[in-house]
A and B are shown apart, each in its own frame.
Chain A
Amino acid sequence: MTQYKTTIGLEIHVQLKTNSKMFCTTSAQYFGSEPNVHTCPVCLGLPGALPVINKEAIESAAKFALGLHCHVSDVSKFDRKNYFYPDLPKGFQISQLDLPIGKNGWLVVEGKKIRINRAHLEEDTGKLIHAKVDGKSVSLVDFNRSGVPLMEVVSEPDIDSPDLARSYAKVVHQLARYLDVSNADMEKAGMRFDANVSVSKEGIDKLGEKVEIKNINSFRFLEKALVFEVERQIKTLESGKQVIQETRGWVEDKAITVSQRVKETSPDYRYFPEPDLPPLVFNEADIEKLRKMLPELPDKKMDRFVLEYGLDKITAQNLTEDKNLAQWYEDGLTIYAKDDKNKAAKAKVLANWVVGELIRNLREKAININSASIEPAGLIELLRLVDSSEINQTTAKKVFTQMFSTGKTPSRIIKDEGLAQVSQEADLEELLDEVIVENESAVEDYRQGKAASLGFLLGQVMRKTGGRANPVVASKLLKEKLAHGNRN
């Protein structure tokens, strides 16, 4: 069978987080609002309205570009991209053509370097809803989103699988969140993807015909759409046909891409410099100042967690996926390892709890760490109770789940639920006697030298205490009792 090579390039649109829109003072916080209540003459494209650049959007865009390892151009300008579409009130979109904010960047994803051609700033369009009104098909337009700052990150075709495309998109998403320049909220369409994909026979340098899949709004759909499209193109080639260069749309409920060809003319946007907006000039000092403002980025943080806390790479990756979760971990560790004794061991124990129980609980509730009521100090209190054998691991996990949902302190939960470990010999004695009487044959086996029977008897003790017996104390006491019985 012929081997095929997949070539994918992504265009990622990320809404920047600003109070006001890109070129006007209308609020950009439109999500969930009634239609057309966040507009003004500028973002409605009324005649004579003039745009003014939002400083914050420029700074965020430049930071984003630096985070993508782009060269931030000393001169950047805006251009008009002209086309007619009902979601574009002016008949043109203010975008950037030849002098984008950032050029020639890269990101490393799963060990592979993916080059970034450009990162430019533009204004978002309005939103179209297709509906039937009085039995007639119509499109309804809401301009609340019109003019919200949008960063477009264009990769080179360096992505060789749908899986890598998804990972790359996630890295861009993570970066935007780390830099705090965007909420990149998938549910609110704060991040959207267009993918260019082609397949060609292995060993042939010439790329196959390129198909563009537009307007994908989730990581999962991105991967699914690409998997479908790669298979479709290979099947087309295998059947002796040609792949046609075209735009296709992802239809989620059918899990297929469909041709969106309306007419086969290549777009003619007649870009020209936006005459209403003077150019942006960055000097070295401005760029250096922004570079210094960048927080520790995900890959650096991950490396540091491995080096500083002795964590394995996967644990460090899980901890640093969300900046706030990483902060939560480090806050916890500061408390847990306050006396600096056994810091490495404590770093591991805490990491396992965060990556295991905490992330599991966050996922179950589908929330992120900022909306969770559990504080690092609470988990550390719990871990200290485990360290001092007041409760065992199993109980601790139960307590943690309750802490997570109620926000109560561990000692409160342990007291309320009677979960404290039974460590007092006097408390265990009676129970052990019961177990010995109830399990004569196991006791006999043990006395005959079958060591495994001890484990069985201990299990019975645990069962009676609902797992609360301190295993070390119980085992010691049980051995003494059995030896004592033997002598009789």
Chain B
Amino acid sequence: MKKTISKKEIEHVSSLANLPLKNSEVEKFTVQLSEVIDYNISLLEKINTENVLPTAHVTGASNIQRADETQPGLSQQEALQNTKSEHNGFFKVKPILSRG
């Protein structure tokens, strides 16, 4: 089944991914992403999943846990060393007033 992705969907996905796109890019990716998904879905559809149970992990591991013990982490200076802007030991970012 062929599925075409709309421009609106591309814009939605790019905003979720925090990737601003130019109009020309939206046009381009609308075509490209439709093709990529079509190709992949067509492959997946060929696989026989009749006796396959849903799973979230494939390693078979479970209950991998550690004891509740602490270890020294990074110093403030180390934590901040890669940031472009800091202020009094804080990371400084553009003002955020409410959750959008």
Chain A residues with CB under 8 Å of chain B are 18-20, 24-28, 34-41, 43-44, 52-58, 77, 82, 84-86, 128-131, 133, 137-143, 214, 247, 249, 260, 262-263, 268, 270, 273, 275, 277-281
Contacts and interface: CB of A to CB of B under 8 A. Distances in A.
Contacts of A133: 87, 92
Contacts, number: 135
Nearest to A18: B68
Contacts of A35: 76, 88-90
Contacts of A281: 62-63
Interface in B83-99: 87-99
B87 A138 contact: yes
19 contacts: A20-B70, A25-B69, A27-B70, A28-B70, A36-B76, A36-B80, A54-B65, A55-B67, A57-B68, A77-B56, A85-B99, A130-B97, A268-B12, A270-B16, A273-B56, A278-B57, A278-B64, A280-B62, A281-B63
A280 B75 CA distance: 32
B61 to A, nearest CB: 4
B68 A20 contact: yes
Task: Determine which residue in B67, B91, B95 has the highest number of CB atoms from chain A within 10 A of its CB, and name it.
Answer: B91
A279 B89 contact: no
A36 B74 CA distance: 9
Nearest to B12: A268
Interface residues of B, number: 37
A262 B90 contact: no
A442 to B, nearest CB: 74
Contacts of B68: 18-20, 54-57
A133 B71 CA distance: 34
Contacts of B18: 84
Contacts of A268: 12, 16
Contacts of B89: 34-37, 142
B90 A129 contact: yes
Given A40-B74, A130-B96, A273 B57 contact: yes
A143 B64 contact: no
Task: Determine which residue in B56, B75, B93, B94 has the highest number of CB atoms from chain A within 10 A of its CB, and name it.
Answer: B56
Contacts of A129: 90
Given A44-B74, A55-B65, A55-B66, A143 B79 contact: yes
